[in-house]
Amino acid sequence: MGKRIEPLSAEQWREAGRKLKEAKAALGEMSKILSGHIPAILLDQVLKARSDGFHKLQSRLEDEMFRQHPKLPREAINIFYGDEGSKP
């Protein structure tokens, strides 16, 4: 039998969403620094990680958030995808 996982509060989910958005932005900024200074194939991997990797992670985290808090309003999607000022 596995250890019981304690659900995150809505505020903890908001903080996780902010941190994920910050990480995605930082990876974008890093790609600008690297552009023209590393092989294109490597820069493509950075850009792909930023788009595909983060999109998959956002989607899976959003699913888990709604699993833990099924009564959250649909606007809670903004935690991972929308405007920083949006609050469910």
Is residue 32 over pLDDT 90? Answer: yes
Q: What's the whole-number mean pLDDT along residues 44-59?
A: 91
Q: What's the whole-number mean pLDDT along residues 29-41?
A: 96
How much is the pLDDT for 77?
86
Tokens of 5: 């996982």
* pTM, to two decimals: 0.80
DSSP labels for 19-86? HHHHHHHHHHHHHHHHTTTS-HHHHHHHHHIIIIIHHHHHHHHHHHHHHH-TTS-GGGGGGTSS-TT-
Please give the share of the chain, as a percent, with pLDDT higher than 70.
92
How much is the pLDDT for 69?
94
How much is the pLDDT for 88?
43
How much is the pLDDT for 83?
67
